[in-house]
Amino acid sequence: MDSAASEKSIIALDGWLQTPAGAYVRAWEQACLDDLTADIFGYNAVQIGLPQIEALAANRMPSKWQAATRASNVDQLAMSAAGKQVAVALDFTELPFASQSLDLVVLPHVLEFAAEPHQVLREVERVLIPEGQLIICGFNPASLWGVRQGMGKLARSPYLPVTGEFISMPRMKDWLKLLNLGVSRSHFGCYAPPCRTAKWLARFAFMETSGQRWWPYLGAVYMVHAIKRVKGMTIIGPAWNRKTAAGTQAVPATNRKTESKSAG
């Protein structure tokens, strides 16, 4: 999938998000993102793609950016009018941010529609500071929606945008592990069957609670929260620990031997 095809794929997802099923997904993801990002602190946060979701709405960092491709002119104008800081990138494999400059990055459904998902992840790892945090939203192939999508492709009647390559949770964790991005938490949601109307989705609303209890890993959508780990880093203890250690007079080894003999 080249960059042009990737852009068309994302546009297809934009259209799907306006459907009843898309609204159902956006509502769950918005609530989950609000909960996850509210207590993540720092200075700079970026949402990459999918402006239909306010991924950083609940976050309180002073600088929050929306990364958009150059082809998304309409979206950029709308975001600028809404007072959002827009960072324009040729594509998401070349982010316009300095290395180790961001505290938080959110990727809502970007990797599964990207031409080079591994490179997007590598670029995100580059711009994150040590202990910086990453949140990824994706469709779960191991769900009723995933099964419906597979059958729909064969029957040429897909439920989700056909251009997406949906990534399983174990596979996503493997990708993150290779980049020293350790998974902190994962969440699943949207347990209703793949219905096309708001009426039928509402009828299966009870499955949200049942799914969380009885089949928690089979939600149609998942969210992964990861932290950038840097090997060799040590956490420095509080200042009073260092003062206490400095104030304690060490006894040389030769003196300790002499004291032992005297005690004997």
- Given this model, what pLDDT does residue 75 score? 53
Indicate the pTM of the whole model: 0.81
**245 within a domain of the structure (yes/no):** no
Residue 251 domain-assigned? no
221 inside domain: yes
CB 166 within 8 A of CB 112: yes
pLDDT at 258: 46
Query: Which residue, among 13, 247, 214, 260, has the nearest Cα to 112 in the 3D structure?
Result: 13
Instruction: Count Cβ neighbours within 10 Å for each residue of 103-123 and write b for 16 or more, e otherwise.
Output: bbbbbbbbbbbbbbbeebbeb
Tokens at 25, concatenated? 């997904």
Is residue 156 a part of any domain in this protein?
yes
CATH code of the domain covering residue 208? 3.40.50.150
Q: Report how far apart the first and last C-alpha atoms of the chain are (Å, whole number).
A: 80
Q: What is the pLDDT of residue 8?
A: 54
Domain count, the chain: 1
Using DSSP, state whether 114 is helix, strand or coil. Answer: coil
Task: Note whether residue 260 is domain-resident.
Answer: no
Residuewise pLDDT in 10s, the chain (264 residues): 545 555 556 667 888 999 999 999 999 999 999 999 999 999 999 999 888 889 999 999 999 998 877 555 445 445 544 556 777 666 788 888 999 999 999 999 999 988 899 999 999 999 999 999 999 999 999 999 999 999 988 878 889 988 888 999 999 999 999 999 999 999 999 999 999 999 999 999 999 999 999 999 999 999 999 999 987 655 555 544 444 444 444 444 444 444 444 454
Asked whether residue 242 is domain-assigned, the answer is no
Assigned domain for 250 exists: no
In angstroms, the Cα distances linking 94 to 85, 90, 109, 230, 233 are 18, 7, 18, 22, 27
Crossing angle of helices 169-178 and 117-127, in 10° steps, is 50
The reply to whether 264 falls in a domain is: no
Q: Which domain holds residue 77?
A: 3-236
pLDDT at 26: 96
Q: Sign of dihedral through CA atoms 54, 58, 60, 61?
A: negative
